[in-house]
A = this chain, B = another copy of it.
Amino acid sequence: MSNSSWRFSKRALAMKSSIIRESLKLTAKPGVLSFGGGMPAPELFPVEELIEACRKVLTERPDEALQYGTTEGYTPLREAIAERMNKIGVPCTADKILITGGSQQGLHLLGSAFIDEGDYVVTARPTYLGAIQAFNAFGPKYATLPSDDDGMVVEGLEEILVEKSPKLIYLVPTFQNPDGRTIPVPRRKEILKLAKKYNTPVVEDDPYSELSFEGKVPEHMFSLAPENVIMLGTFSKLLAPGLRIAWLIAPNNECFDRCVKMKQGADLHTNTFAQHVVYEFMKTGALDGHVEKVRKLYARRRDVMVAAMRKYFPEGVTFTEPTGGLFLWVSLPEKINATELMPKAVEKLVAYIPGMAFYPDGGGDNSMRLNFSKANEEEIEIGMKRLGELFQEALNS
């Protein structure tokens, strides 16, 4: 009966499960307050509006909404996204927008379209774990640069571009997952100048820029260099992740066409029905008001979390204070290993993602990511208290 001798691909044998998703399973234990996931606040899901959008789509155009669709995506949705993107200063047209099954698929398509085994990808350290997971299927190496308060540093980038000819520079420039840091415009320009000089595409993964708590965000990298950036946007944080509707903006036809072909092979096309529902929701004009609600709630929760961290965390523990997004980053004294601390955390009924998960080439042992969008204020208060005690005990031991 054992088929352990089936000959899987080298790729499959090398793939590890996402630490995030495995951690989430561990922390599903009853009573655990988890700050590990990256889930939007479900109480804000615009349920009534979505019921109406479903009814409308299925009443008015069931033949189209339930049928096979084009790989590129539902044209009116692509047009609505292009319009919204232009409104926030991203100059793009619908014909370069590819609808994807979440931005995770966008990352996977880019990995597929660009990475041969052994090719380098540049990322910040820490960087978004899901991107590492998506790229790893294609056997890349990573050349990483550290982050300061302004995100990935530029020092060392040119050397990497010269010596390692990376295929992609991957960035979450605004409210980066996992650390909430944002790259200011001057640094964006420096990165783009080098990227251009060495003809290396920049992937701007942008799930959070509309979730700014303090007004305007820096100009998008795509806006600063529309010919050299591939941008990823998503409705997961703006509307609902369960709909799995995101988009990739290609800077030119060749890049667009290659991504479309990879998607044809991967899943033919994204859920037609969900595309219609999201389009219908956008058409009502309710998205802006909804995003405003999300912003306010997350800003409030960040405030509560930061205040509780100040109150409960022992000296020597530092953290970022993001002005948007869903995450902040905690740095512990060197002697504490956040991965090793996890079982004790779960005993104390609190959970996080160990920082090492976000380091594609090792490191980050004494850090962790915390999410402030999902738990309510009371839970945040209790959770930070538990974490403070946990840190204190680790320091004392």
Q: Mark A1-35, 1 if CB is under 8 A from B, else 0.
A: 11111111111100111100100000000000000
Residue of B nearest to A199 (CB): B5
Tell me if B42 and A62 are in contact (CB < 8 A). yes
Of the 9-residue stretches A76-84, A134-142, A182-190, A349-357, which lies at the interface with chain B? A134-142
Could you say which residues of chain B place their CB within 8 Å of the CB of A270? 101, 244
Q: A241-B67, A271-B242 are in contact. Are A266 and B8 (CB under 8 A)?
A: no
Q: Is A388 part of the binding interface, using a Cβ–Cβ cutoff of 8 Å?
A: no
Please report the C-alpha to C-alpha distance between residue A242 and residue B99 in the assembled complex, in whole angstroms.
14
Could you say which residues of chain B place their CB within 8 Å of the CB of A267? 101-102, 104-105, 108, 244, 267
Please report the C-alpha to C-alpha distance between residue A217 and residue B262 in the assembled complex, in whole angstroms.
35
Tell me if A3 and B261 are in contact (CB < 8 A). no
Residue of A2, A12, A63, A104 with most partner-chain B CB within 10 A: A12
Tell me if A54 and B58 are in contact (CB < 8 A). yes
Tell me if A42 and B55 are in contact (CB < 8 A). no
- Oligomeric state, in copies: 2
Q: Is A115 part of the binding interface, using a Cβ–Cβ cutoff of 8 Å?
A: yes
Q: Is A243 part of the binding interface, using a Cβ–Cβ cutoff of 8 Å?
A: yes
Tell me if A228 and B3 are in contact (CB < 8 A). yes
Tell me if A37 and B251 are in contact (CB < 8 A). no
Tell me if B134 and A15 are in contact (CB < 8 A). no
Tell me if B254 and A6 are in contact (CB < 8 A). yes
Tell me if A42 and B15 are in contact (CB < 8 A). no
Tell me if A254 and B9 are in contact (CB < 8 A). no
Tell me if B12 and A114 are in contact (CB < 8 A). yes
Could you say which residues of chain B place their CB within 8 Å of the CB of A266? 104-105, 108, 134, 137, 266
Tell me if B274 and A116 are in contact (CB < 8 A). no
Residue of A9, A45, A133 with most partner-chain B CB within 10 A: A9
Tell me if B68 and A39 are in contact (CB < 8 A). yes
Could you say which residues of chain B place their CB within 8 Å of the CB of A38? 68
Size category of the binding interface on chain A: 35 or more
Tell me if B9 and A114 are in contact (CB < 8 A). yes
Please report the C-alpha to C-alpha distance between residue A21 and residue B167 in the assembled complex, in whole angstroms.
29
Tell me if B58 and A55 are in contact (CB < 8 A). no
Residue of B nearest to A48 (CB): B58
Q: Is A66 part of the binding interface, using a Cβ–Cβ cutoff of 8 Å?
A: yes
CB distance from A387 to the nearest CB of B (A): 23
Tell me if B268 and A102 are in contact (CB < 8 A). yes
Q: Is A51 part of the binding interface, using a Cβ–Cβ cutoff of 8 Å?
A: yes
Tell me if A59 and B67 are in contact (CB < 8 A). no
Tell me if A9 and B112 are in contact (CB < 8 A). yes
The 5 A-B residue pairs with the shortest CB-CB distance, nearest first, are A242-B272, A66-B240, A42-B63, A54-B54, A66-B242
Identify the A interface with B (CB < 8 A): 1-12, 15-18, 21, 37-40, 42-43, 45, 47, 50-51, 54-55, 58-59, 62-63, 65-71, 101-102, 104-105, 108, 112-116, 119, 130, 133-134, 136-138, 165, 167, 199, 201, 227-228, 236, 240-244, 251-252, 254-255, 257-258, 260-262, 264-274
Pairs A–B under 8 Å by Cβ, sample size 18: A2-B252, A3-B255, A5-B199, A6-B255, A9-B138, A11-B116, A11-B262, A45-B66, A67-B240, A67-B241, A69-B242, A108-B265, A108-B267, A134-B265, A137-B262, A243-B271, A267-B267, A273-B274
Known: A47-B62, A51-B58, A105-B266. 9 other contacts (CB 8 A): A3-B199, A9-B113, A9-B167, A12-B113, A15-B265, A42-B62, A45-B63, A101-B270, A133-B265
